Each structure stands twice: as C-alpha cells, then as structure tokens.
Structure 1
C-alpha cells in the first residue's frame, strides 16, 4: 500500500544503517559514513547466514534505528500541514505506527544490501539550516548504480537522520503524498488506522 520497492527498501535501509553508531558522533559526516559502510555490509552478511530469522533482523533494526532517528520530526514531515490538526494522542499514535512501519520496511531491506558497495562522494550544506548537511553517495550492486543521499542534523553531540533520498526521491515526501490521499478522505484517524492495519499485516509494502 505504501511507497516501497525492493531496491528502494534495501538502499534506504543501507542509508539509515550507515549512520547509526554513536561512537562516531564526533566524526565529520563524510568520514563517518565511509567508516561505517564496511561495518554495516559485514553485519548484513552475517545476518544473511540466518535467512529465516526475521525476528532477529527486526530487533537489530530497532536497536539501531530508534536512537538514530528523530521519529517525531520524521513523522511530522511525512504527515505535512495536517500534523497541526492532530491532537497530542493522535500525534503519539501516528509516530508509533509510522515508526513500526519503517522498522519493518528497513528490516526487509537489510537482506538485500550485502552485495552493494557504497562510495561516499561529498557533503553539502543545507541552505538556511546551519546544523544540517547532506551526505551524497553512490550505491552499486546487481549491475545498477543509484544516487543515495541522506540528510543529517547535528543535535547536541549526535547526528540524527532527518531524511533519505534514493535517486532524488526523498522518503518523507514520498510518504507525504500517499498520506495526503488518506487524510483527504478520512482525516487523521483514517491515516492512523491505515498505518495500524499495514503493521498488523507485518509487511508494509
């Protein structure tokens, strides 16, 4: 139902997992990505040794994604202007359901990325956002090359993932266009229920 592709899920999983270890928080973003990429690839190869252990993959994603992403901010961006109309309780439900959706999405992608190689190319400032940078890279595998960029924000001493782009398509904007259709039809509660239903299926695709 929601925006996913096999390649997209795999590459977005890689992008997020590249930026997750707080030990590298003091490292410049481009070097940080370069250091972590080989470690992540090694880890995903180990994960592939137990192909039936979906629970272990989900737990791995939870352990790494949750500390690295400001889910309230990501959810607010994906929901768009209608976020202002949501009650506190609705915002909490949206955040939890969207977090669960993304955890399953990335867990599904992890299995697909062990044969990709990543070349970090450069780091760009974000206009009018002095605490943010965009780290650009190219991901190659299976005869394809994709432009993989992600936006990081410095919060205190830590980098936080704000958004990820695959071939110029930013993930929060992709979700926003889909969420907008549900919001137009049934409002905030309709979106919450759609997310919850997808999560009950355990396969947000």
Structure 2
C-alpha cells in the first residue's frame, strides 16, 4: 500500500513537471518576444526620424507614411476602436461597427503618427522585462531625457506571429481610456450619431489636408 502511494505521488510529480516546465518556458519566451517587439518598433521609428535622407519639411510626408506603416503592422486598432467605445459598442449594428472602426482607425493612425513625429526623436530608452498577466503582456519603458524621464507603457495581446499593441499609457494616462472618456461624454450629452459626425469631420479634414 505504501509502495502504491509513493508511486502515485511520483506520477503526480512527473505530470506536474511536464506541465509546469513547458508553461514556464513559454512564459519566459513570451516575455522576451513582447519586450523585443516593442524595442524593435521603437528602433524602427527612431531610424526613420534620424534618417538624413528623410530630413526637412519636403520629406515629412514620406516619414509620416513610413511611420503609419509601422503602426498598421503593430497596433490592433480594431480592438482599440471597440475598447474606446466601451459599453456602447454592443448597441451598434455590424455595419455601424465597421463604419465607426474605419473612421477611428484613420484618426488614431494620424494622431499617433503626429505624436511620434513631434515627440520621439533619437532617444535613450530603458526597457523593463515584460509582465505577463491573463495571456497579455505589459512592457514598461522610460524615455531618459536630461530635463525629465517619461514613463511609456505598452499593453500587448498575442497573435500568431508575435504581439500587437492595443493600448499605450504615457505618464499614467491611457490613450484608450482618454478616447473612451471623450466619446462617452459626447454620447451622454448628445448622441452616438453626433459623435460619429464629429469623427467624420475630423477624418475629412485629414484627407483634405494630409
């Protein structure tokens, strides 16, 4: 009986070891992948910003286009659009969701690109190991400047080919939460239709004056 009990414990230990070791290895690999991806994105952006062939106003549209391409590959703008609408998202019809998402995507890509062009130069950035929780990764970074250190955190979700960013927090302020607060205020005080019309106006302004 004692021998059987020991055998059972041994089997449990082996099963636990087989399960926990691959999971731990996967978690460590995921951490590296998420942090490395953020580093790669920022390295790409800073290379564009510091490229002398793209310097000066005449080449600014080309810089903008290249940065937008990076954002399109690495940001989950559809999820950001959904999260920014909060509890109102399920109330929309499928065609309404598609229209709103397309408008949001254009506005976010333009505004974040402008932020990068105006704000992010050839920076010294400190990266912390990614923190994994509920299948997602939080990558904390600090932009180190002489006058100030700026905390920028990236929240990523896994996809087949790596990770995609679905929120950025700058000095404790979440971009998606800022959108959600602004959108919910318009919907509460006016209506969803009023919000969409405001977004369309901004989208048309960008298209007319890129």
- With structure 1 as the length reference, what TM-score do the two structures score? 0.76
Q: Which has the higher strand share?
A: 1
Q: Which has the higher helix share?
A: 2
Offset of residue 75 of structure 1: 0.5
Can you give the 5+ residue segments of structure 1 that lack an aligned partner in the other structure?
1-24
> In the alignment, is residue 118 of structure 1 matched against residue 122 of structure 2?
no
User: What residue number does 1:173 align with?
Assistant: 177
User: How far apart, CA to CA, are the structure 1 residues paired with 2:124 and 2:131?
Assistant: 21
Which structure is larger by alpha-carbon Rg, 1 or 2? 2
Are the counterparts in 1 of residues 84 and 180 from structure 2 also a CA contact under 8 Å? yes
Higher RCO structure, 1 or 2 (CA under 8 Å, sep 6+): 1
CA RMSD in angstroms, aligned pairs only: 2.4
Q: 1:43 aligns with which of 48, 53, 69?
A: 48
User: How far apart, CA to CA, are the structure 2 residues paired with 1:121 and 1:84?
Assistant: 36
- With structure 2 as the length reference, what TM-score do the two structures score? 0.74
Are the counterparts in 2 of residues 57 and 107 from structure 1 also a CA contact under 8 Å? no
Q: How many residues align?
A: 176
- 1:57-72 alignment to 2 at 5 Å? 57-72=63-78
Offset of residue 82 of structure 1: 0.4
User: What residue number does 1:201 align with?
Assistant: 205
SS at the partner of 1:111?
helix
Offset of residue 60 of structure 1: 1.8
Are the counterparts in 2 of residues 136 and 149 from structure 1 also a CA contact under 8 Å? yes
- 1:2-151 alignment to 2 at 5 Å? 28-46=33-51, 49-112=55-118, 113-126=120-133, 129-130=134-135, 132-141=136-145, 143-151=147-155
Can you give the 5+ residue segments of structure 2 that lack an aligned partner in the other structure?
1-29
Are the counterparts in 1 of residues 64 and 117 from structure 2 also a CA contact under 8 Å? no
Offset of residue 27 of structure 1: 5.6
Are the counterparts in 2 of residues 152 and 162 from structure 1 also a CA contact under 8 Å? yes
SS at the partner of 2:128?
strand
